Amino acid sequence: MTAVLLDGTATARQIKDELRAEIAALSDRSVRPGLGVVLAGDNPASSVYVRNKTRACDELGIFHETALFPATTTTDEVAAKVQEYGRREDIHGILVQLPLPASVDASRVLSLVDPAKDVDGFHAENLGRLVQKRPRFVPCTPAGIMELLARSDIAVAGKRAVVLGRSDIVGKPMALLLMHADATVTVCHSRTRDLPKVTREGDILVAAMGRAGFVRAEHVKPGAVVIDVGINRVETQEEARDLLDEARLVDFARKGTALVGDVHAPSVREVASALSPVPGGVGPLTIAMLMKNTVKAARLGA
């Protein structure tokens, strides 16, 4: 068995194409969706993520503005910008790129995001609405995974689903969405005993713990659908030989770096029925769902 690769890039393109009609309808009402971004510190990955998100805005005709803060910024400075975005009529969605510098109280900043503009879905009010199955904005990565499953004709109802990771950003909302879709859900974490035994129970396995190549064939039920949320950078030959297949090793030799997920793709491909690749799997969907949430915020606020 060789797993079918789930094409997140193509699915994201479908979602964006559907959004164009919504954006055109808003334009007919003189409304242009707007996204206000807060980027603080000097984290290279965060800069790349923000650049990819604003590029998607440009592609769709969504207005965007990014406020840049140094690593030495204070909570009050970042909070003031978040509150300013909350007051502005041309900003429908607010994105606070995480992680924030250690000098900034991230919990306080996120609590100040207007729930009606919380397009990341991280505010306590929106997480509470998700728990109650009446969501306004769903966190983008879990929402994108549900889109990928649905558009790949992968049934969720009645399945056993295992989520590896319990973060507020991915693990917890992912478990809720799967449960709301009538899966029986188990959440695993660092204290889970006999982890491979538990993860092998999953017809659907979502890996979101931030450890390169952690999930291997021994963790996967034969025929399972495996969703890889991780984004990790490989920079040594030793890691590359372990985590990359022959085709990607050639690319690594040329570039000296490669992105991998939390799943050991070479071994898991031989066990799973379907696998989301890294790159080209969940990542593009996260951005597409941010665009979808921003357009929704504009529609609700118009």
Catalytic residues: 53, 97, 120
Report yes or no: 258 and 244 within 8 Å, Cβ to Cβ.
yes
DSSP 289: H
**Number of CB atoms found within 10 A of residue 14's CB:** 12
Quote the radius of gyration of the chain (alpha carbons, Å): 19
What's the longest Cα–Cα distance across the chain? Answer: 57
Residues in the chain: 302
Of 159, 276, 293, 261, the C-alpha closest to 227 is: 276
Alpha carbon distance 91, 84 (integer Å): 10
Report yes or no: 23 and 61 within 8 Å, Cβ to Cβ.
yes
Which structure tokens are listed for 300? 């609700």
Taking CA atoms, 80 is separated from 13, 89, 116, 272, in Å, by: 35, 16, 18, 48
Question: Can you name the residues that pair with 162 across neighbouring β-strands?
Answer: 186, 205
Summary count for the chain: helices (H), strands (E)? 12, 11
**Residue 202, C-beta contacts closer than 8 angstroms, at least 6 positions apart:** 160, 161, 162, 186, 221, 224
Alpha carbon distance 217, 88 (integer Å): 50
